[in-house]
Copies of this chain bind each other. A is one copy, B any other.
Amino acid sequence: MPYRLIEKKEFDKIILHNGDWEIKMQLFAEMNRYNTLVAVKKAGSGHLGSSLSSMDIITYLYLNEMNVLTVGLDSEDRDIYFSSKGHDVPGLYSLFYSLGILPAEKLLALRRLHGLDGHPEVRIPGIEASTGSLGMGISKAKGMAWAKSYKKRKGRVFVLTGDGEFQEGQIWESLQAAAHQKVNNLIAIMDHNKYQTDMLVEDVNNIEDIVEKVSAFGWYVVRIDGHNYQSLKNTFTNLKSITDQPKMVIADTIKGKGVSFMERPVTETISGKTYYKWHSGAPDDDSYLKGLNEISERIYQLSQKLGVDRIEIPENEAEGKITTKIQKEFVTDAFGDAIVELAKTNNKIVVLDGDLSADCKLRKFEYAYPHRFIENGIAEQDMVSMAGGLARMGLLPIVNTFASFLAARANEQIYNNATENSKIIYVCHFAGLIPAGPGKSHQSVRDISLFSALPNVIILQPCNGWETKKVVEFCVNEAKENCVIRLVIGPSPEVIQLPENYKFTFGVGTELTEGKDAILFGYGPVMLHEALVASYYLKEIGFGLKVVNMPWLNRINSEWLIGITRNYSAVYVLEDHSIIGGLGDRILDTLISANAINNKKFKKFGLADYPECGTPLEVLNYHRLDGKSLAMQIAEIDEIDSKLVRDLKQKYTDEAPQ
């Protein structure tokens, strides 16, 4: 196994050693930075920049300020810490390993099924709150602190936030209410590392002067260097005497601290603009080894200074995986290209983004039409209502962010816009189950249900790049109603082949395979790939499954549907979504309304529980949504002799996208 951690016993050595306190802390933190880098590299994804910038803060808190290591994780009098931003959890997991809260094998199973979730989950020892979608933490910490007071329990609540996170309205809700409610056993700490996804906070949506703002909201605020242990110590000691206000520490930090080339403001330049590139993602092999070496060197220096025995630093190699040179399809690329093309002749189009421009493939549009691109920062509700205002003025807004945030954080705003009968296009990037590494805060498997009851919204999901272009063109040029476009954010497992003569037609799907024994409707490249794999398996055992790509998730041509299902006694729907509220419910509605169900078997495959975290293969298997499991379930239902099902090689690779 090529991934090795600095072992716990080395950390114990530091704790037990009598020496300069500050150097002890710095060394402890550096050793954790090392392990964080290993864990993220092994995972293949994870957020390094914030894990590294917050490491000194959490090292300070757990080793000096909080009582949780002495009173225990179950004590009702324990101090509580958690991170509101959540994505800095690889650093926290590493710290937990060094403190004996988590075993090594878990740390080396970051973002793996039954390992450690990509964003914090309370099922993991030491994790006090599940977080991942920004802006909720101070509210939740307020509840915890209030509960402690109510139950007359000791212990303070510490919550770490990001800085871009202060673009979220809920933060200000919680600040105002906490001050009013006098929840004074609450300390928020901002990991003020100046960058959000890949740009400076001050360029995206400036939060300064943050001390002035938070003070105006009635909190006691101090601003310090978040890497200076003496400052941390003085600050938190002084805060103990502030008992009549909730408290905030603005900790100026360096994103990527500890690895020189990850430390801002080192960036990459694209089209003349500079971007921070270490917010998320595992480093390439060279950067990985270079980073480990840098940290190792500093560990060596510090251990010398401290006068402690030599710290055992393990051998670590890069796995040397040849990343495939084959260009994978990203439907988001096709989307990004399509809007640039359409904007050439349609000057009503205005594109809005919520700090996810790179992920949503909006950069091309941003460069081509800077005056038509609105970067709103991490403020989805504002973005959606702003789009409402643009639409009232006759423009055509195309609103972008991750599906879970757009559909659920800004649901009421979308409803309000829709009641005005204007037209807005909402693009739900990162729709569906995969990628599953980030965890359930990011996997969006409820969004179709969150839009379906809106009378004037058309929901679509294209199956490949070509269809994506058609979908966007339809939404922009033809649709009279609002549109929601779901896009898978990772690489398509395969490019779904559509028939030569395929015309993208309202309410009508496309047959991808022939088969007479059952029919299955699916959408999107991830699940259609699994459906096709299932059809290959079933073909091997003489069972013909017709797979139909159905990109129209809530507008179904009834005549077409009745016709295409007429001769089938079994109808399946494969959701990239919960089995509740997706395409299946609408197909069933249509068949029932037309009295066309006629004793057919009808079954939906999809999620019946929360989506799991892991690699695509792990998670598809876990939920029995991989092609083989689907084939077996379909075959079981039809009582085909399962001894005939052979283990065909999966075409799907294990390359988990970031």
Residues in chain A within 8 A of chain B (CB atoms): 76, 121-123, 128-133, 135-137, 139-148, 150-151, 167-174, 176-177, 179-181, 204-207, 209, 212-213, 216-218, 350, 371-372, 374, 376-377, 379, 381-395, 397, 404-405, 407-409, 411-413, 415-416, 419-421, 440-441, 445-446, 449-450, 452-455, 577-578, 580-581, 585, 588-589, 592-593, 595, 597-599, 601-603, 608-610
Nearest CB to that of A132 among chain B residues? Answer: B416
Supposing A150-B372, A419-B130, A449-B449 touch, asked if A174 and B143 sit within 8 A by C-beta, the answer is: no
Cβ of A129 and Cβ of B415 under 8 Å apart? no
CA distance A387 to B377 in the complex (A): 27
Supposing A139-B386, A416-B441 touch, asked if A171 and B174 sit within 8 A by C-beta, the answer is: no
Supposing A146-B389, A177-B377, A393-B151 touch, asked if A419 and B610 sit within 8 A by C-beta, the answer is: yes
Tell me the smallest distance from the CB of A56 to a CB of chain B, in Å.
26
Nearest CB to that of A381 among chain B residues? Answer: B170
Residues from chain B with a CB closer than 8 A to the CB of A136 are 381, 385, 388, 412-413, 416
Supposing A136-B416, A205-B180, A608-B455 touch, asked if A170 and B411 sit within 8 A by C-beta, the answer is: no
Residues from chain B with a CB closer than 8 A to the CB of A217 are 213
CA distance A415 to B385 in the complex (A): 22
Nearest CB to that of A181 among chain B residues? Answer: B374
Contacts A/B (CB < 8 Å), 25 sampled: A132-B416, A136-B416, A139-B383, A140-B388, A140-B392, A143-B390, A144-B389, A146-B374, A147-B389, A168-B173, A169-B171, A172-B173, A177-B382, A180-B377, A404-B412, A408-B415, A409-B411, A409-B412, A411-B450, A419-B610, A446-B453, A450-B450, A452-B580, A581-B585, A588-B592
Nearest CB to that of A179 among chain B residues? Answer: B206
Nearest CB to that of A454 among chain B residues? Answer: B446
Q: Given A143-B390, A179-B206, 17 more contacts at CB 8 Å?
A: A128-B392, A137-B385, A139-B382, A139-B383, A139-B386, A141-B389, A143-B385, A147-B389, A147-B394, A169-B170, A173-B379, A177-B377, A177-B382, A180-B205, A404-B412, A455-B609, A599-B599
CA distance A171 to B382 in the complex (A): 8
Supposing A217-B213, A452-B580, A599-B598 touch, asked if A133 and B173 sit within 8 A by C-beta, the answer is: no
Residues from chain B with a CB closer than 8 A to the CB of A610 are 419, 455
The 4 closest A-B pairs by CB, nearest first: A143-B389, A169-B169, A139-B385, A147-B393
Cβ of B415 and Cβ of A371 under 8 Å apart? no
Q: Which of A205, A213, A411, A412 has the most CB of B within 10 A?
A: A412
CA distance A143 to B385 in the complex (A): 8
CA distance A209 to B390 in the complex (A): 32
Supposing A136-B413, A392-B140 touch, asked if A597 and B597 sit within 8 A by C-beta, the answer is: yes
CA distance A387 to B129 in the complex (A): 12
CA distance A218 to B210 in the complex (A): 11
CA distance A524 to B603 in the complex (A): 30
Residues from chain B with a CB closer than 8 A to the CB of A602 are 592
CA distance A415 to B122 in the complex (A): 14
* Residue of B76, B144, B412 touching A133 (CB-CB under 8 A): B412
Tell me the smallest distance from the CB of A92 to a CB of chain B, in Å.
17
CA distance A371 to B589 in the complex (A): 49
Q: Which of A129, A132, A382, A394 has the most CB of B within 10 A?
A: A382
Cβ of A130 and Cβ of B170 under 8 Å apart? no
Cβ of B446 and Cβ of A415 under 8 Å apart? yes
Cβ of A386 and Cβ of B150 under 8 Å apart? no
Cβ of B385 and Cβ of A150 under 8 Å apart? no
Tell me the smallest distance from the CB of A535 to a CB of chain B, in Å.
23
Supposing A129-B420, A170-B381, A374-B181 touch, asked if A143 and B388 sit within 8 A by C-beta, the answer is: yes
Cβ of B390 and Cβ of A146 under 8 Å apart? yes
Tell me the smallest distance from the CB of A584 to a CB of chain B, in Å.
9
CA distance A207 to B218 in the complex (A): 10
Q: Which of A218, A449, A595 has the most CB of B within 10 A?
A: A449
CA distance A539 to B238 in the complex (A): 78
CA distance A602 to B602 in the complex (A): 15
Cβ of B405 and Cβ of A412 under 8 Å apart? yes
Cβ of A392 and Cβ of B144 under 8 Å apart? yes
Cβ of B173 and Cβ of A381 under 8 Å apart? yes
CA distance A592 to B598 in the complex (A): 11
CA distance A209 to B216 in the complex (A): 7
Cβ of B392 and Cβ of A122 under 8 Å apart? yes
Cβ of B592 and Cβ of A381 under 8 Å apart? no
Q: Which of A218, A413, A599 has the most CB of B within 10 A?
A: A413
CA distance A649 to B297 in the complex (A): 89
Residues from chain B with a CB closer than 8 A to the CB of A151 are 393-395
Residues from chain B with a CB closer than 8 A to the CB of A141 are 389
Cβ of B411 and Cβ of A453 under 8 Å apart? no
CA distance A351 to B440 in the complex (A): 28
